[in-house]
Amino acid sequence: MNASPGPSAVRTTAAVLVPALACAAAHISPAATWLPSVRRACFPRLAGVGRPDHVALTFDDGPDPLSTPLFLDALDELGVRATFFVLGDGVVRHPSLVAETVGRGHELGVHGWGHERPWLPAPAADRRGLLRTAGAIHTLTGRRPRWYRPPYGILTSGRLAAARTAGLRTVLWTAWGRDWTPSATGASVSAQVRADLHGGGTVLLHDTDRTAAPGCWRAALAALPEIVAACRAARLSVGPLAEHWTRGGAAG
């Protein structure tokens, strides 16, 4: 017959388990902002809600020498500038593409060094990755990035603290195209974005398939003209986050 643990063993287990659970809860609790209803209702600025006559157009996961130049060409044809949330390891591998993106009038935000999942606390690595990426962007372009969007849109306490240390403002999105899925098409991406499109919104698309289904970026590229046309039909201007909060271009 097995003996039940004594009171001292129970107290020891609780002394170890309770702080560990508290630490885990503190680490992951900001991830609740991933839910669109939560962030729109409680954290509109985090969601990217800006001035009502403007839509911010943003892209994640680049730069990618195969696909990003095609997005730059399409945006030129549409007369639109955007914000590209880039990964630091891609920045150092493709410096000329980073410089070209900025040279063609777009702005860069920080998406992290790689595209890591956030389930385990890693505050030192978070801070190091954001600072390293922001530094690489500044070195290559002469401009300090202003924005941060975490991989998968999942915030943690470590990622929030790292963004503050790096002087970055965290911005998620109000509309996305689900353009990372293998079944995505230009029509499906456009319809998904337009379903949640409104003045003051921030649109999330991807200019690469680096962390998604192979070739899925083609759906986002095909959807761009219709998305921009829908904004203009609603008399909404389209541009980067730098223009999203005030007409003068400075974030409020």
36-66 burial by CB neighbour count: b if 16+ within 10 A, else e? Answer: beebbeebeebbbbbbeebbbbbbbbbbbee
Q: Catalytic residues, which ones?
A: 60, 206
Contact 101/72 with Cβ under 8 angstroms? yes
Neighbour tally for 235: CB within 10 Å: 8
Cα dihedral 139, 140, 145, 148, rounded to 10, equals -100
- Nearest-angstrom CA–CA distance, 7 and 24: 25
- The alpha-helical segments, DSSP class H, found in 148-250 are 157-165, 186-195, 217-233
CA pair distance 97, 68, nearest whole angstrom:
8
